[in-house]
Amino acid sequence: MGRLEGKAAVVTGGGRGIGRAVCLAFAKEGADVIVNYASQDKPAQEVVEWIGKMGRKAVAVKGNVAIKADVEKIIHTCVDHFGKIDILVNNAGVSKPSMLYKMTEEQWDEVIDIQLKGPFLCTQVASKFMMDRKYGRIINVTSSAGLWGTKGQINYSAAKGGVVALTKSAARELAGYGITVNVIQPGYVSTEMFDRVKSDPKLLEIYTGRILLGRFAEPEEVAPTFVFLASDEANYITGQLICVDGGLGMT
């Protein structure tokens, strides 16, 4: 029996990268999954098909997590299809790099809206259903940039830093309802976000040199930590930042 047997999960940004690996890992452990995506239909549909082949249910829902009506649609689809929501993964992200002096207000707003307002809205809408059932698992995603800052991404790092505080405040508010709220810092993962770094040998060497294990992670190496935090094995863990970064945070 899977460790998430019969659970209903929502994964935002579930079509690609880490989100995709999380959707598949959840389904493998027995969960039904809402695969949210913002723009590209095809990857999300692929995830839904694969989950179907695993014998679990999945629905792809297009929506922008920064828009309340979209968030309601995403969460309500889960409750309508699966009768409940047990697990929420706030994974949707976007990066709009630019140095501080030339960053536009639009670049700032877009990243803050999706990375910070998005988790707020999703947590707010989902937690109402979780509170009724006195059970819930909320997992947020931060980044090395959010913990230690980075050059050329002040919007991204501010949003990701905010997610850590959002996690802890939500953990405090929701603890009385059997809901845990945690945040994962995945380090450098081989996803599209790192395509630019991986295509430049010099840059790749600098980035790899920061990781104790000496390599990037595959999304599949990060996904099991999401499964663990979503499972009942992690009952007593809340408000925590978990680093799955190959030792990046120590360098």
Partner 1 sequence: MRLKNKKAMVTGAGQGIGKAIALKMAQEGADVVVAERNRETGIQTQKEIEALGRRSLSFAVDVADRHQVDQMVAEVVATFEQIDILVNNAGFDRPGSLLKTKEEDWNAVFGVHLTGTFNCIQAVAPYMIEKRYGKIINLSSVWGKRGAVSEISYSTAKAGILGLTKSVARELGRYEINVNVVLPGFILTPTVSQMAEKYQRLIIEQTPFRRPGKPEEVANVVAFLASDEASFMTGAEVEVTGGWNM
Residues marked as catalytic? 156
x-or-dash pattern for partner 1, window 211-230, by CB under 8 A? -xxx--x---xx-xx-xx--
Nearest to 65 by CA among 117, 125, 112: 117
The DSSP result for 72-83, as a single string, is HHHHHHHHHHHS
| Partners of residue 91 on adjacent β-strands | none
Report the residue number, 74 or 181, with the smaller CB distance to partner 1: 181
Shortest spacing between CB 175 and partner 1, in angstroms: 3
x-or-dash pattern for partner 1, window 140-169, by CB under 8 A? ----------------------------x-
Stretch of residues binding partner 1 (CB under 8 A), selected from 41-49, 64-72, 145-153, 240-248: 240-248
Stretch of residues binding partner 1 (CB under 8 A), selected from 34-42, 59-67, 124-132, 243-251: 243-251
Report the residue number, 115 or 231, with the smaller CB distance to partner 1: 231
Report the residue number, 175 or 206, with the smaller CB distance to partner 1: 175
Nearest to 251 by CA among 204, 192, 209: 209
Cβ–Cβ under 8 Å, residues 63 and 73? yes
Dihedral (C-alpha) 75, 134, 183, 146: value to the nearest 10 degrees?
70
How far is 92 from 211, CA to CA, in rounded Å? 24
Does the protein bind partner 1 through residue 5 (CB under 8 A)?
no
88 phi/psi in degrees, rounded to 5: -125, 125
Contact footprint for partner 1 (CB under 8 A) = 168, 171-172, 175-176, 187, 212-214, 217, 221-222, 224-225, 227-228, 233-240, 242-247, 249-250
